[in-house]
Chains A and B, each alone.
Chain A
Amino acid sequence: MTPEKLKLASHVTAINWNRIEDDKDVEVWNRLCNNFWLPEKVPLSNDIQSWATLTPEEQLLTMRVFTGLTLLDTLQGTVGAVSLIPDAITPHEEAVYTNIAFMESVHAKSYSSIFSTLCSTKEIDEAFRWSVENVNLQKKAQIIESYYYGDDPLKRKIASTLLESFLFYSGFYLPMYWSSRAKLTNTADMIRLIIRDEAVHGYYIGYKYQKGLEGVPEERKEELKAWTFELLFELYENEVQYTHDLYDSVGLAEDVKKFLHYNANKALMNLGYEAMFPAAVTDVNPAILSALSPNADENHDFFSGSGSSYVIGKAVNTEDDDWDF
């Protein structure tokens, strides 16, 4: 494999959506299109009263968290997703990356919608200045960016998946926390839409990484696996500092770190690797988990219940139409 510098796709042919090489491309394209949304559809102004109940410190934290997320979305929209296009295996994969790139720009803009609804221009400008000056935030962007401009297509996909599935979560924690306390609930609704999109992005880029591994010599596979864990550690150490820097003022840092571990595991799984953090440190606050997904609580583990009564399967007259697809 000859490493190449990042460049535009060297040759373009007319894309034929009636001739599909990888069904996953169509599946993900359709999923992304069905999930499409715009910030203007979310009634953020309903959060104005709730915003006023936050302390100045909590407001500052929230704004900083959102400018941090804005930076990641901007990086992913302007460089990350676009940098994956030249190495795409199929023309439809290229198209999916353009979809991802645009949606990341929508995400980046959506934070500005929150700001313009809830904050003054002066506060907004100060928060953006903070995002330029914060060492840990800049560092995480720089680490990822260096691989986007680097010469290894597979490392680019690893870095991109870790951004999509891990780096956002120190930020996503906060709106889920507010939501669990019935605060900024419309903002949280919008963040859930972003989380859903990033989940599809991380899943897809991780899948394409695994496709890219097919046919690669065993030795290089091992090297890339080791590299993935090294990069994750490097990013994790930085995330821990970033987390303390942001959340120590409100005493939430330890809770956020559990959420980081939990999501780091999921990022690894998207790349086809085993979870790294043990259950003892991934016990995310149930309130945060249920803000994320109402189905995620322990009560849904039937095996853990008393299990005294089982409902026995019975044949139901089911037709194709019955299934609602």
Chain B
Amino acid sequence: MWGWPVKRLALQPQVSSWKAKAMSAVAAEAAVTAIPSRNTSSRLIYFSSSSDNTHRFMVKLGMDAARLPIYTKEETLLAQVPFVLILPTYGGENRSGAVPKQVIKFLNVEQNRKLIRGVVGAGNTNFGETYCLAGDIVAEKCKVQHLYRFELMGTSEDVARVREGLEEFWTRLSQTKALA
């Protein structure tokens, strides 16, 4: 299940294979307080439901990225380097339920919260006040910037803007030595 989006993205495999994970299991366990996770060294980590809207945006972006598992029962990712999180918001009444459970599971891992540097939100302005709300909540909780918002799978302008913006963002971060 997990393997296919990575394949479709045609990116370098950013998630360590099971075999590799098994080999470094001892080290990983020590670093991650025994929460079983899959390591990723991608600078972009995203969630997309089976509707694949956010996934399509990431494919168009064409940058190395890791997708969070679609089902909460699956093991979440473990970030190894500072990253930006891209996540969608579905139309809801209020804050409750805005952040996808899969993202909560991911951010409940301390190391992931330590390494998050920014958020990009996807959504639909037709959801009014809750447009990209999940991005706002995560940004607030993790004390990082909500860098950009786009709708559904994003337009080509959104893609260009995010690509350019992220490059600049990483450059500046490295200058401020925040890019560990």
Contact = CB atoms under 8 A, between A and B. Distances in A.
Contact of B124 (A266, A312, A315, A318): A266
B6 interface: no
Contacts of A196: 91, 126-128
Contacts, number: 158
Given A289-B125, A311-B144, A320-B108, A207 B99 contact: no
A122 interface: no
A316 B92 CA distance: 26
Given A295-B129, A295-B149, A307-B168, A312 B178 contact: yes
A300 B149 contact: yes
B104 A296 contact: no
Contacts of B151: 266, 269
A325 B96 contact: yes
Nearest to B116: A313
B149 A301 contact: yes
B152 interface: yes
A266 B149 CA distance: 15
Interface of A (DSSP majority class) = helix
Nearest to A35: B93
Contacts of B91: 31, 35, 196, 199-200
Interface string A139-175: 0000000000000000000000000000000000000
B137 to A, nearest CB: 8
Contacts of B90: 27, 31
Interface in A275-325: 275, 279, 282, 289, 292-296, 300-304, 307, 310-316, 318-320, 322-325
A124 interface: no
A311 B176 CA distance: 11
A269 B164 CA distance: 23
A279 B151 CA distance: 13
Contact of A207 (B51, B126, B169): B51
Given A269-B152, A318-B113, A307 B172 contact: yes
B161 A314 contact: no
A166 to B, nearest CB: 12
Q: Which of A199, A270, A304, A320 has the most chain B CB within a 10 Å cutoff?
A: A199
B127 A199 contact: yes
Nearest to A197: B91
Interface residues of A, number: 51
Contact of B143 (A289, A301, A302, A313): A313
A31 B51 CA distance: 15
B82 interface: yes
B117 interface: yes
B162 interface: yes
A289 B126 CA distance: 9
A136 interface: no
A250 B111 CA distance: 57
Interface in B126-171: 126-129, 131-133, 136-137, 141-149, 151-153, 155-157, 161-162, 164-165, 168-169
A279 B157 contact: yes
Given A22-B50, A279-B157, 17 more contacts: A34-B92, A199-B124, A266-B151, A282-B155, A293-B126, A293-B127, A294-B128, A295-B133, A296-B131, A302-B118, A303-B168, A313-B113, A313-B118, A313-B143, A315-B110, A318-B113, A325-B96
Interface of A: 22-24, 27, 31, 34-35, 192, 195-196, 198-200, 203, 207, 210, 265-266, 269-270, 272, 274-275, 279, 282, 289, 292-296, 300-304, 307, 310-316, 318-320, 322-325
30 contacts: A22-B50, A27-B90, A31-B91, A35-B92, A196-B91, A199-B127, A200-B91, A265-B155, A266-B124, A266-B152, A274-B153, A282-B155, A292-B128, A293-B127, A293-B128, A294-B128, A295-B133, A296-B125, A296-B149, A302-B145, A304-B161, A310-B117, A310-B178, A313-B114, A313-B118, A313-B143, A316-B143, A319-B108, A323-B108, A325-B97
Interface of B: 49-53, 56, 82, 90-93, 95-97, 99, 101, 104, 107-108, 110, 113-118, 124-129, 131-133, 136-137, 141-149, 151-153, 155-157, 161-162, 164-165, 168-169, 172-173, 176, 178
